[in-house]
């Protein structure tokens, strides 16, 4: 190789390394850098969902509704920047559900600020139920802590508040976990027993990462995930 080609070869190698760090090891079935990028698969909808102000670049990829992830480079500032997730429509009242459960397994970064969480909507967008499975950095739920309870297979600090548009109930796991199962119907029944909401229609169940910051670029992976109901 001539000397004139060596700098170019080095540049190509560097660019290839940068691209490889931002995407899964093998080309995914679908990917998008559009902030509203969406993909339907297996009855679920996968969304990039970059919605917060001051957000940086984010690329989502997916092999299926169950296996997806993002590379995100959001600045180290306050406020949620994005909620990349996979969602399944339910559209059933709590009382008509025999069961509503979910399983998940994630690989997540040890820096940045985010939570790995479910976002469950009921009666359209009147009620938002968030279930935090783990959290990293300076993040916290909306509202004030009401109690600690064990329900749905885990122990949670329960918060109640409003985002100005709808009621928000947040179940923050008392210890981080990267895999497990959740009895979502049991959580919803707990909210009914507390008198915080009635026999609402469960609109959909979403699962992903609510990212506040990921400066320098971080990878967030969902290795497997499913929602089952009857």
In the block, residue with structure tokens 């309870």: 149
Catalytic residue, chosen from 210, 212, 220, 225, is 210
Strand partners, 88: 44, 205
Task: Region of 43 please: left (phi>0), alpha (psi -120 to 50) or beta.
Answer: left
Ramachandran angles phi, psi of 102, nearest 5°:
-150, 150
Going by DSSP bridges, is the β-strand pair 127-136/44-47 parallel, antiparallel, or unpaired? unpaired
172 catalytic, yes or no? no
Q: E strands along the chain, which residues?
A: 30-32, 38-41, 44-47, 58-64, 67-72, 85-93, 100-107, 113-122, 127-136, 144-151, 154-162, 167-173, 179-183, 201-213, 218-229
128 catalytic, yes or no? yes
Contacts of residues 159-166 at CB distance under 8 Å and 24 or more positions apart, as own/partner, are 160/196, 163/128, 165/125, 166/125, 166/126, 166/127, 166/128
Give CA–CA dist 45/49, Å, rounded. 11
- Inter-residue contact 54 to 75 (CB < 8 Å): yes
Catalytic residue, chosen from 56, 73, 94, 128, is 128
* Residues acting as catalytic residues: 128, 210
């Amino acid at each position: 190789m001539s000397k004139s080609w060596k700098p170019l070869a080095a540049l190509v190698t560097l660019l290839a390394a940068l691209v490889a760090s931002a995407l899964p090891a093998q080309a995914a079935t679908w990917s998008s850098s559009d902030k509203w990028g969406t993909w339907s698969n297996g009855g679920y909808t996968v969304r990039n969902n970059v919605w917060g102000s001051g957000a940086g670049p984010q690329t989502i990829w997916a092999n299926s509704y169950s296996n997806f992830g993002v590379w995100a480079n959001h600045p180290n500032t306050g406020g949620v920047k994005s909620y990349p997730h996979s969602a399944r429509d339910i559209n059933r009242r709590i009382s008509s559900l025999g069961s509503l459960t979910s399983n998940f397994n994630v690989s997540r970064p040890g820096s940045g600020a985010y939570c790995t969480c479910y976002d469950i909507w009921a009666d359209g967008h009147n009620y938002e139920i968030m279930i935090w499975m783990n959290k990293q950095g300076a993040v916290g739920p909306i509202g004030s802590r009401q109690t600690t309870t064990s329900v749905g297979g885990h122990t949670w600090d329960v918060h109640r508040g409003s985002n100005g548009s709808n009621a928000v109930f947040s179940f923050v796991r008392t210890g981080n976990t990267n895999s497990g199962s959740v009895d979502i119907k049991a959580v919803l029944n707990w909210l009914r027993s507390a008198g915080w909401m009635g026999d609402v229609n469960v609109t959909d169940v979403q699962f992903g990462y609510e990212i506040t910051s990921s400066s320098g670029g971080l990878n967030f992976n969902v290795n497997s995930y499913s929602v089952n109901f009857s």
